[in-house]
Chain A
Amino acid sequence: MIAIHPLGVLIALVIVALIGATIYWMLHPPPAPADIVAERAEAALEEMAGSIIVVFSEDIHSEHMMVLAARLARRERAELLAVYIVEVPLILPQGAQMPQEDRRAIEALATAEAIAQHGGVTIRTDVIHARQVSTAVVDLAKRESANLIMLGSYREGKYTGAPLGRAIESIASSAQCDVLIGVPGPHGRMLTLERPPAAARRNGAG
Chain B
Amino acid sequence: MPSKPELRRAVTPWGSFSWGYSDVGADIFVGLGLVLGAAAGASNVAFLFAGIVYVCIGLAYTELAATYPVAGGGQYFVMRGLGDVFGFIAGWAVLLDFTIDITLFAWSCVDYLGQLVPFLALTHHPWVHFSAAFALIAGLCLLNLVGVRESTTFNGIVSALDVVSETSILFFGFLFAFNPDLLVHAMTLYWPTNDHLLLGVSLAIISFVGLESISQAAQETQRPASIIPRTSIALILTILVYALAYANLALGMIPANPVPPDAHGHAQTFFQFLGSTANQGSAVAVLAANVPYFGKLAALYVPILGAVLLLISSNSGVFGASRIAYAMSRSQLLPSVFERVHPRYRTPAVSIVVFCGVALAVLVFAALPSLDPGADAVYTRFFHGEAGLDVLADLYAFGAATSYSFVFVALIALRLKDPLSPRKFRIPINIPLTFRGERALFPVVGVIGFLGIFSILIFTMLTHPIGRVAGPLWLGCGIIGYLIYRRRKALPLWDSRPIDWETQQITILKEAGELELMDELIEKLRARGKAPGVAKAP
Contacts and interface: CB of A to CB of B under 8 A. Distances in A.
A12 B172 contact: yes
A9 B178 CA distance: 9
A18 B13 CA distance: 18
Contact of A11 (B167, B174, B254): B174
B11 to A, nearest CB: 13
Interface of A is mostly: helix
Interface residues of B, number: 31
Interface stretch (A22-30, A150-158, A182-190): A22-30
Contacts of A92: none
Contacts of A9: 174-175
B237 interface: yes
Shortest 4 CB-CB distances between A and B: which pairs? A8-B178, A26-B234, A12-B174, A12-B175
26 contacts: A1-B254, A1-B292, A2-B176, A3-B176, A3-B177, A3-B179, A5-B178, A5-B180, A8-B176, A8-B177, A8-B178, A8-B179, A8-B180, A12-B171, A12-B172, A15-B167, A15-B170, A15-B171, A19-B238, A22-B238, A23-B234, A23-B238, A26-B14, A26-B230, A29-B13, A33-B516
A198 interface: no
Contacts of A7: 178, 180
Contacts of A2: 176-177, 292
Contacts of A23: 163, 234, 238
Q: Which of A1, A4, A8, A26 has the most CB of B within 10 A?
A: A26
A3 to B, nearest CB: 5
Contacts of A19: 163, 167, 238, 241
Nearest to A35: B223
Interface string B205-246: 000000000000000000100110011011001100100010
A205 interface: no
Contacts, number: 77
Contacts of A26: 13-14, 17, 230-231, 233-234
Contacts of B483: none
Contacts of B138: none
A18 to B, nearest CB: 6
Interface of A: 1-5, 7-9, 11-12, 15-16, 18-19, 22-23, 25-27, 29-30, 32-33
B248 to A, nearest CB: 8
A60 B8 CA distance: 42
A30 B226 CA distance: 9
Q: Which of B170, B175, B238, B241 has the most CB of A within 10 A?
A: B175
Nearest to B171: A12
A1 B167 CA distance: 21
Given A3-B179, A26-B14, A26-B17, 17 more contacts: A1-B256, A2-B176, A5-B180, A8-B174, A11-B178, A12-B170, A12-B174, A15-B171, A15-B174, A16-B167, A18-B237, A19-B163, A19-B238, A26-B230, A26-B234, A29-B13, A29-B230
Nearest to A7: B180
Contacts of B256: 1
Given A3-B178, A5-B180, A23-B234, A15 B226 contact: no
A12 B14 CA distance: 24
Contacts of B17: 26
Contacts of A16: 167, 171
A72 to B, nearest CB: 28
Q: Which of A2, A7, A15, A29 has the most CB of B within 10 A?
A: A15
A27 B179 CA distance: 35
B189 to A, nearest CB: 19
A32 B223 contact: yes
Contacts of B177: 2-3, 8
Contacts of A8: 174-180
Contacts of A18: 237, 241
A27 B14 contact: yes
A145 B477 CA distance: 78
Interface in B424-450: none
Contacts of A12: 170-175, 178
Nearest to B256: A1
Interface in B154-204: 163, 167, 170-180
Contacts of B292: 1-2
Contacts of A27: 13-14
Given A26-B17, A26-B231, A15 B245 contact: yes
Contacts of A3: 176-179, 254
A22 B245 contact: no
A32 B13 CA distance: 13
Contacts of B167: 15-16, 19
Contacts of B234: 22-23, 25-26
Nearest to B241: A18
A32 B514 CA distance: 10
Interface in B1-58: 13-14, 17
Nearest to B237: A22
